[in-house]
Amino acid sequence: MKITFGMIVLNGDQVLEETLSSVYPYAHQILIAEGPVGYWQQQGYTTSMDGTNEILENFPDPDNKIKIVHSQYSEKDEQCNAYMEFLDDETDYIWNLDCDEVFKPEDIEKVINLLETERYNSVGFKSILSDEDDKSVESVDPYPICIEIPEGYWTVTSTADDYEYSYKEKK
């Protein structure tokens, strides 16, 4: 099974390296769109101002899995679409993650097992907190979002009032 991880990031150096390290062993590709959306552009940002770009440039990528797109975007959906153009035809699943989501190996393996055995086309996550006071995540609980659709990619886009769904057939 080939999983491509997609990430949008602006000023995410706090745990970006840990996030990349947690998913790299499981990734077929890691596609990253770095840069500000409209609001942050109005605040004067043209790129990340912390150590994000240095982390992205220096992160070890011996298998050449990582593709980074640097730009400015009108909004987050456009930012996600910027990396989607680099999605290759071998990808079975797209895993969209935030730059501050660090997964334990056993949780990634739990999701992969679910995808392999049940062949869901989409899975969401519910975090299980280890302690209500410290808010650290003990594990994730995957659950299916939709099943029994033709092979391809569904994209869910949030709007102010609703969600929009679009489908891209696998080549």
C-alpha to C-alpha distance for 141 and 129, rounded to whole angstroms: 11
> pTM for this structure?
0.75
CATH top class, domain 3-169? alpha beta
Per residue in 104-129, pLDDT tens? Answer: 888 888 888 888 887 776 666 655 54
Residues 39/76, Cβ–Cβ less than 8 Å: no
Residue partners of 13: CB distance under 8 A and separation at least 6:
48, 50, 51, 52, 54, 55
Q: Where are the domains of the chain?
A: 3-169
136 pLDDT exceeds 50?
no
To which residue do tokens 């000023």 refer?
11
What Å distances lie between residue 159 and 33, 100, 138, 156, 162, CA to CA? Answer: 20, 23, 31, 10, 5
Per residue in 57-116, pLDDT tens? Answer: 999 999 999 999 999 999 988 998 899 989 999 998 888 888 888 888 888 888 888 888
Strand partners, 168: 153
